[in-house]
Amino acid sequence: MKAVTKLPLRCVCSCYGRLFSVSSSVNCSENSQRNECTASPPKFKPKRALVLTKMSRYEYEKKMCQSETEEGLQRYLAERGSDYEGVLIRHNIHHSNLKEVKETLEKEGIEMEIVQRFEYTPDAIQWADIVLSAGGDGTFLLAASKIKDRSKPLVGINTDPARSEGYLCLPTKFSLRVSDALERFLAGKFKWMWRQRIRTTMTGQHANDEPLELHNQELQYPEHRFMEHVAEHEMYKQSSESASDLPPRVLPVLALNEVFIGECLSARVSYFEFSTDDSISVKQKSSGLTVCTGTGSSSWSFNINHIPKESVKEILKITNEIANCSCHIDSEAVLRKIASEFNNSLRFDPGEARMAYTMRDPVMNGIYHVAVPRGFANRMTIRSRMWDGCLAIDGGVSFKFNDGAIATLEVFSEDALQTVMLT
């Protein structure tokens, strides 16, 4: 790392803990089968820890600028209207907290390795007893995407709480005082919690293609969107073996938040066939499909479906006119309460083995009609009718998903991600 704060990538320490907490409360007694929270204090003594650290904005801009001097970086940022001093301050805050993580682990005597996303490999994950993400929710999702072992815990540490909510990370008071969190953890003051994830099985064309790492796309391929588009047209000019002859493939990445299926270019209409559980497949056009877990139900899916109190007021006003009711449309407290009740109903427990789906902006006319644009399912099957489609997992990895490709989405208990709730 070239600039201001430099940390060694390898060091020897000793602590391991399954540290993780969530913003929403979970009743372990009522949800014991779903979340599998332990009743008695667990004992966990890790020997090796792998810390995945985010690339700070400063480090990213440094790579893109390719300047050897700070003056060059300042000019580069100034030309784009960005504040060099602000970028530098956030960089130093992140690395100051990363340093505290390192020192805390060293104090506990745990062997550890700090890596960035390019060094975050299956071999590195296999080496560790526990994985810690140092960044925000994006870093946590990246860390989770490559963990396949159900007994490999992941802990999220928000290294800049002032600028990132870090819903998936430890509460702010623990992210800022990692030593306190580790003391609780090593004392057994936590409960295990498993977050369900979505497994995707692909058949047909592109089932065996390598994924496009969206985290790395801008650094590696500045014009990758154009190159991918050209590759799609070249594919249709070539003869290929029948899709029916290609074996199914379980994609190498599990979705902790959501799977998105749609056209790569958002201005295009997404066209595919869709079925849930044992229902009949239906052709539909929309702005794409999102399928989320309980963890993801408070993220993108929530933002798509939530309603403001202004919408509640409009609906109640129409209800009063049509049904001759007398709903209190002028009461701000009532409107907020109704909106809150509906919006809270969109969230469900991260341990539940089901998925919530949403058709974004479904086309409704005499030909296309989606009877249930939003709902729950245990199994979903989507057949692409798109020309430049993608299947994106947690906003970090994208797979080609063009005409004839079929994706099956399911939740299996063995795919759950192990985390903790501090007590």
Q: What is the pLDDT along the chain (423 residues), one digit of tens a residue?
A: 434 443 433 333 333 333 333 333 334 433 444 555 544 556 778 899 999 999 999 998 988 887 788 999 999 999 889 999 999 999 999 999 999 899 989 988 999 999 998 899 999 999 999 999 999 999 999 999 999 999 899 999 999 888 887 889 888 888 778 788 877 887 788 888 899 999 999 998 766 666 666 655 544 444 343 333 333 333 333 434 455 566 899 999 999 999 999 999 989 999 999 999 988 898 999 999 999 999 999 999 999 999 999 999 999 999 999 998 888 888 999 999 999 999 999 999 999 999 999 999 999 887 877 788 999 999 999 999 998 999 999 998 899 999 989 999 999 999 999 998 887
Q: Strand, coil or helix: what is 291? A: strand
Q: Which residue is listed with tokens 């966990």?
A: 44
Distances (CA, A) of 264 to 133, 206, 319, 380, 408: 29, 15, 39, 21, 20
Of 19, 39, 17, nearest to 27 (Cα)?
39
Please count the residues of the chain.
423
Residue 172's pLDDT is what?
81
Instruction: Give the CA angle between residues 100, 125, 59 to the nearest 5°.
Output: 50
Residue 222's pLDDT is what?
41
Q: Strand, coil or helix: what is 158? A: strand
Helices in 109-213 by DSSP H: which ranges? Answer: 122-127, 137-145, 172-175, 178-186
Q: Token pair for residue 249? A: 């493939």
Residue 118's pLDDT is what?
87
Residue 242's pLDDT is what?
52
Residue 3's pLDDT is what?
42
Residue 35's pLDDT is what?
56
Give the chain's end-to-end CA distance (angstroms, integer). Answer: 37
Of 274, 286, 288, nearest to 383 (Cα)?
274
Of 104, 103, 111, nearest to 130 (Cα)?
111
Number of CB atoms found within 10 A of residue 79's CB: 8
Measured N-to-C along each axis, helices 57-65 and 70-79 cross at an angle, to the nearest 10 degrees, of 90
Of 120, 133, 122, 7, nearest to 59 (Cα)?
7
Q: Token pair for residue 407? A: 């994706």
Contacts by residues 318-327 (CB-CB < 8 Å, ≥ 24 positions apart)? none
Of 90, 398, 389, nearest to 216 (Cα)?
398
Give the integer Cα–Cα distance in Å for 319 and 344: 22
Residue 177's pLDDT is what?
82
Give the integer Cα–Cα distance in Å for 60 and 87: 10
Predicted TM-score (pTM) of this structure: 0.81
Residue 421's pLDDT is what?
82
Q: Strand, coil or helix: what is 220? A: helix
Q: Strand, coil or helix: what is 245? A: helix
Residue 39's pLDDT is what?
45
Residue 227's pLDDT is what?
36
